[in-house]
Copies of this chain bind each other. A is one copy, B any other.
Amino acid sequence: MNKPKIQILEAEPSPVDNPAAAGYKVFNRIIDWITNDRLQLLNITDRINEIVRKSGVRDGLVHLQSLHTTSSVFINEWQEALLHDVKSFFEQVVLREQYYRHNDPQYSDCERKNADSHMRGMLMGQTLCLQVRNASVLLGTWQSIIFAEFDGPRSRSLAVQVSGV
C-alpha cells in the first residue's frame, strides 16, 4: 500500500471558548409522522435544524434516534436519481424474497413478514449524532439528514436530543 501523504491544511486554528460553560443544557423532543410506502426516504434536515434553533444550544451535539427497529437515520445527498439508487441498493444488499425464520409461522408469530426490514434497519442503524456549531446542525454542502422507512406505511417517532452550551 502506498503510504498516504496527508497534507494538513489546518483550519479554524483557535478554540471555541465557552464562557457560559455553566449553561450546559439538554433539550428533548419527539417528532412523529406517517409514512406512505414500504420503502421510503424522507429528508428531515429542515425539521432537525428547526429543533436545534429552538433548543438554544450554540455548541454541542444533536442526537437522533428512531424508536423503531425497521427504520434508520443516515446522511446522503438528496438527489432524486441517487435516492432511486439508494432504494435499489437496499433491495440488493438485503433480499426480501429469501427464506427467513422470522417470516416462517413455524418459528415466529410476526405477521408482517418483515425480516428484510429488520436487516436493513440494523445495517444502517437507528441513531445518528451530529455536531451543533453556531446554533445550527453542522452539515457539508451536499449532506442531508435522511430518515429511511423499511416497513411502511406506518406511524413513526424520532427522538431528538440537543445538548451542549
Contacts and interface: CB of A to CB of B under 8 A. Distances in A.
A135 interface: no
Contacts of A5: 36
Total copies of this chain within the assembly: 3
Chain A contact residues: over half helix, strand or loop, or mixed?
mixed
14 contacts: A1-B80, A2-B36, A6-B33, A24-B24, A28-B59, A59-B163, A61-B61, A68-B140, A69-B143, A74-B125, A75-B127, A84-B101, A84-B107, A140-B157
B4 A42 contact: yes
A165 to B, nearest CB: 6
A119 B84 CA distance: 12
Given A28-B15, A94-B89, A69 B102 contact: no
Interface of A: 1-2, 4-12, 15-18, 21-37, 40-43, 47, 54-55, 59-61, 63, 65-69, 74-77, 79-86, 89, 93-94, 100-102, 104, 107-108, 110, 115, 118-119, 121-131, 133, 138-143, 155, 157, 159, 161, 163-165
Given A4-B41, A11-B32, A85-B115, 4 more contacts: A4-B43, A17-B25, A60-B163, A131-B159
Contacts of A80: 1, 107
